[in-house]
């Protein structure tokens, strides 16, 4: 259940970025997550609205882009699509492969809600 910790780490970063850009809020957050990142994506989706409720990112949409699992064989150099617990080369069957995609855990991009124009703000104050 470290998905809550991940949400906190995400919200810390996003809040800092929002403050830096003087944004009023955040409407959308996009993450890139690989199957070997150790994240249960369904749990993350459940945890996000709860942990962001009182934050800058309240109400933001969380988009998660999943990457494929790919390895490069250290023997024959072939690139294979593999499964979580079988990272063997699909060409020559060597187990000595290197993961080239599939363990990403990235904050990809954020859509900020920018401060209202000055005229609107004046109207609001009045």
Partner 1 sequence: MCGDCGCQLAPAITSDVAPPLPGRATTILRGLLADNDQQAQRNRRHFDTLGVLVLNLMSSPGAGKTALLATSADMLRGEFTMAVIEGDLATDHDARRLRAHGIPAVQITTGNACHLDARMVHTALRQLDLTGVDLLFIENVGNLVCPASFDLGQHRNVVLLSTPEGDDKPAKYPVMFRAADLLLLSKSDLLPLLDDFDPARAEGCLRELANPAPVFSLSAKSGAGMQDWCGWLRASLIESSRYRHDNVHAPRRT
Which residue ranges make up the site for partner 1 (CB under 8 A)?
1-2, 5-6, 9-10, 12-13, 16-17, 20-21, 23, 28, 30-31, 36-39, 71, 84-88, 95-100, 103, 105-112, 114
Least distance to partner 1, CB of residue 85, Å: 4
Q: How far apart, in Å, do the first and last CA atoms of the chain sit?
A: 48
**CB-wise, 56 or 112, nearer to partner 1?**
112
Q: Which two tokens stand for residue 42?
A: 């369904």
Least distance to partner 1, CB of residue 124, Å: 18
Least distance to partner 1, CB of residue 58, Å: 18
**CB-wise, 57 or 87, nearer to partner 1?**
87
**CB-wise, 51 or 126, nearer to partner 1?**
51
Nearest of 49, 48, 52, 57 to residue 26 by alpha carbon: 57
Go through 42-69 and write b for each residue having 16 or more CB atoms within 10 A of its CB, e for each that does not. eebeebbeebbeebbbeebebebeebeb
**CB-wise, 17 or 92, nearer to partner 1?**
17
The Cα angle at residue 76 between residues 75 and 78, in degrees rounded to 5: 120
């Amino acid at each position: 259940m470290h998905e809550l910790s991940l949400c906190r780490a995400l919200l810390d970063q996003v809040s800092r970025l929002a403050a830096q850009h003087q944004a009023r809020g955040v409407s959308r957050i996009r993450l890139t997550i690989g199957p070997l990142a150790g994240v249960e994506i369904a749990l993350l989706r459940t945890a996000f609205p709860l942990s962001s409720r009182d934050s800058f990112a309240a109400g933001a949409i969380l988009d998660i882009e999943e990457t494929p699992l790919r390895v490069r064989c250290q023997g024959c150099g072939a690139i294979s699509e593999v499964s979580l617990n079988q990272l063997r080369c699909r060409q020559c069957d060597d187990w000595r492969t290197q993961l080239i995609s599939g363990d990403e855990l990235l904050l990809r991009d954020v859509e900020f809600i920018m401060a209202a124009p000055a005229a609107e703000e004046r109207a609001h104050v009045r």
